[in-house]
Amino acid sequence: MSNTPRELLKADAIAAMEAQVRPHTLNPNAIRLRKSLGDLTGLTQLGVHLITLMPGHESSEYHRHLYEEEFVYVLSGTGEALIDEQIHTIGPGDFLGFPRGGVAHVLKNTGSEPLTMLVAGQRLEQDICDYPHVKKRLYIYGDRGDLVDFEHIEPDE
């Protein structure tokens, strides 16, 4: 039996973890290999993941959160970040921070090796996520969500 506390996830344990394949609902090219580090240490308010994108794959659908914040720290590999419709090259040591209500973004592995990143974000009970390229809005509440086409959103005036 190990004396390692739950709060400490050792490098060899992380390396031995099997990554979950997590395709994004709105983008069939967004196939992420995810190791959920935060869950294993008992975090409930932050999602912390080791994400790997194989060459040619994207992290998600181009999106922005209205209430949650998230960040990405690139560990290895190269790629591009589409941020507010501008393409930026990313690589090891680069940090990306996306504040609540910020601009839309998505990452893509444009290199020939896996792109591995530490990704973390809040886990609010409620959030709204916009997907501008596919013109959809996701209303998140708890473990559920409602996806609505932009054209069906009616402002309450």
Question: How many whole angstroms separate alpha carbon 23 and alpha carbon 6?
Answer: 28
Domain 18-124 of CATH type 2.60.120.10: yes
Structure confidence at residue 2 as a pLDDT band (50, 70, 90):
low
pTM of the model: 0.93
pLDDT tens column, 94-149: 999 999 999 999 999 999 999 999 999 999 999 999 999 999 999 999 889 999 99
pLDDT 10s digits, 86-99: 999 999 999 999 99
Which residue is associated with the tokens 């209303």? 139
Q: Where are the domains of the chain?
A: 18-124
Task: Please check whether residue 127 is in contact with residue 67, taking contact to mean a CB–CB distance below 8 angstroms.
Answer: yes
Buried/exposed code over 30-51 (b: 16+ C-beta within 10 A; e: otherwise): bbbbbbbbbeeeeeeeebbbbb
88, 18 contact by CB (below 8 A): no
Distance separating alpha carbons of residues 40 and 156, to the nearest angstrom: 41
pLDDT tier for residue 78 given thresholds of 50, 70 and 90: very high
